[in-house]
Structure 1
Amino acid sequence: MSLSTPLEIVTSYHRAWTSGDVALAMTFIAEDVTCRAPGADLEGKPAYEAFIAGFAPALTGIGDIAELADGERVALFYYPQTAATATAPAAELFTVRDGLIRESILIFDRLSYGPPEQD
């Protein structure tokens, strides 16, 4: 099945990595992808894959996904659930061209995903 819209590509990518299939998720990513994330500017598919593969195993679920598409840009808003938090929101703005994700701007509170504080 060929995915034809940027929204279909982004949601397929998101479903893949959030279910733990990082290899499938990377089939939607361009070799020269860029990602701006809190604490990291990533250049190229290997760096992006390492970033996603490092976080994906920590997921225990995904809550409340909202999406907005406008041409080649797609925004997702969701709650990545981990042992540390289930209530910290994340937002991503993707740019899709020629059937691949070329750019991601990721916004989330890094401190929320750290280890829980000890009393």
Structure 2
Amino acid sequence: MISTTLQTTLDYFNAWTGGDFEAALTYISPEISCQTPNGPIAGLPSFRGFMEPFARSLVAARLLAAFGDERTALIMYDTRTRLVDGAPGAELHTVSDGLITSIKIIFDRQPFVEARARLQN
């Protein structure tokens, strides 16, 4: 049986990877705190500013693993964007009252660094 926390995380993931970023935001707390590779961000407007450009560049995503309990969920996925063919990532979510209140995002920046360097040459 899937925990409600994991289901919230999966619903969020399926929304933003399915091209409906507005629906994805309905799973995010207005007071979201997020640890990103670029540093910490807080609040829904900052989260949108960080995540929406990536979501809009997405061509495809594949969920690799998902685990969760009643408070936290962890997903690992691979994405293909207009810039790179493969960009793995992982997110640890804390969920309260049906909303994601905290996210820790880890992803491999190297494919993006290499792709941008090729574009500049």
TM-score normalised over the length of structure 2: 0.86
1:81 CA displacement: 0.9
RMSD across aligned positions (CA): 1.8
Aligned partner of 1:66 in structure 2 is 65
Tell me how many residue pairs correspond in the alignment: 116
Deviations 1:29-55 (A, max 9, x none): 111101101013110011111212111
Aligned partner of 1:54 in structure 2 is 53
TM-score normalised over the length of structure 1: 0.87
Query: How do 1:25-40 residues align onto structure 2 when only pairs under 5 Å count?
Result: 25-40=24-39
Deviations 1:2-51 (A, max 9, x none): xx701111111111111221111111111110110101311001111121
The structure in which a higher percent of residues are helix is 2
1:6 aligns with 2:5: yes
Deviations 1:30-84 (A, max 9, x none): 1110110101311001111121211111111012431011221000000011133
Q: Determine if contact 2:61/2:80 at 8 Å carries over to the other structure.
A: yes
- Structure 2 portions without partners, runs of 5+: none
Is the partner of 2:87 in helix, strand or coil?
A: coil
Q: Determine if contact 2:63/2:75 at 8 Å carries over to the other structure.
A: no
Q: Which moved more, 1:82-91 or 1:32-41?
A: 82-91
Identity %: 34
| Separation in structure 2 between the aligned mates of residue 66 and residue 44 of structure 1, nearest angstrom | 27
